[in-house]
Amino acid sequence: MPLPPTYVEGFHDKESVLQMEYTDLGKTGLKVSKLSFGGGPLGGAVTYGEYLEEEAINTVREAIRKGINYIDTAPAYGQGRSEELLGKALAGVPRKAYYISTKVSRYGRHWSEMFDRSEDRILSGFDQSLKYLGLDYVDIVIVHDVEFGPMEQILNESIPAAAKLIKQNKARHLGISAYPIPPMCEIIEKSTIPIEVIISYSRDLIFDNTLQEYIPFFETRNIGIINAAITGMGILTLEGPPAWHPASPELKAICKQAAEYAKVKGVELSKLSVGHSLEQPGAHSYLVGMTERKILKKNLNALKGLSEEEKFILREIKQIFFNSGKNLCWEGKEISAYKKFLESNNS
């Protein structure tokens, strides 16, 4: 397999890069690694809990050195903390070695002011993001969580503002993100400015294959597909999800039982979840949040595929815990869940 355009002699672990799979991200011209680096957990306590800064910095650098060449973050992750941490981690890393995206139109922790889709806020917020990151530009600017609306403002003000950033050479490509997929499809069909990338998250999981229904829609338009949060934002881990997680108590309980069952069988549910998602067709890259090198190592190992024994345990878990015949998700509930959590945290 040829080396990707992001390869830098003397910086990368060449053998690891040669083992990584790279795919063209739609029509962007970017060739992204199958496993990519999510900056959500770098936001700290409010999102996924605290971490050791030095270890997180080393994890970012090691991930790039091992061939992960796409990083995603957002100002909403810890009120800029994720971007700041990445700025420290990327200092001294060759700019050619990675692609990076950050987001616009979601800021802060207070529900009443969180979503500001206006052009002025997007332009000023993006300049702050670049300052935190220590960069002159990012490769992709993402309009964040479009399902929260309002749709008309996103179409008529937010996306044009993001396009202006591209004209100013502060970003190169334009994308959108959401949990429910239909709002992204609607924007793609209605926008007069082409959307090049979508970030879907907590899909193609052990209990939810919703993304697969929409892959043909995106493929026919040559749109890059990033599938993020493939442990369901922590719900498919032994540690369990954070307090704000919008899944129902019933689904959380089922996933906890599945995690404990996997532990008894000698395997981590998170590995089975990541392994399952990586085998699903359609997405160009799979975004996973990481703050420690031991987690990075586990995820890189998952790229090699599950063992036959692990596949057998995964089939057992699907049969025992997730055999309802329907997708299990929190679509339609995430907005009220986030609002309730934020209001209680800031009261």
Question: Does residue 312 fall inside a structural domain?
Answer: no
Assigned domain for 203 exists: yes
State pTM to two decimals.
Answer: 0.94
Which CATH number does the domain housing residue 166 bear?
A: 3.20.20.100
77 is catalytic: yes
Whether residue 117 lies inside any domain: the answer is yes
State the residue range of the domain holding 194: 14-243+270-305
Task: Tell me what the pLDDT averaged over the chain comes to.
Answer: 94
pLDDT per position as a tens digit, 293-313: 999 999 999 999 999 999 999
Domain-located, residue 314: no
Q: How far apart are CA 176 and CA 201, in angstroms?
A: 12
The answer as to whether 179 is a domain residue is yes
The whole-number pLDDT of residue 303 equals: 93
Look at residue 278 and give its three-state secondary structure: helix
Residue 20 lies in a domain: yes
* Residue in 7, 22, 48, 77 annotated catalytic: 77
Say how many C-beta atoms besides its own lie within 10 A of residue 221's C-beta. 16
- The count of domains in the chain is 1
pLDDT of residue 345: 64
Rounded mean pLDDT, 81-96: 97
pLDDT in the model for residue 46: 61
Element (H, E) at 318: helix 308-321
Answer yes or no: is 318 within a domain: no
- Is the pLDDT score of 242 beyond 90? no
Domain for residue 277, yes or no?
A: yes
Q: What is the pLDDT of residues 22-64, one digit of tens each?
A: 999 999 999 999 999 999 999 986 667 789 999 999 999 999 9
pLDDT digits 0-9 by tens, 155-188: 999 999 999 999 999 999 999 999 999 999 999 9
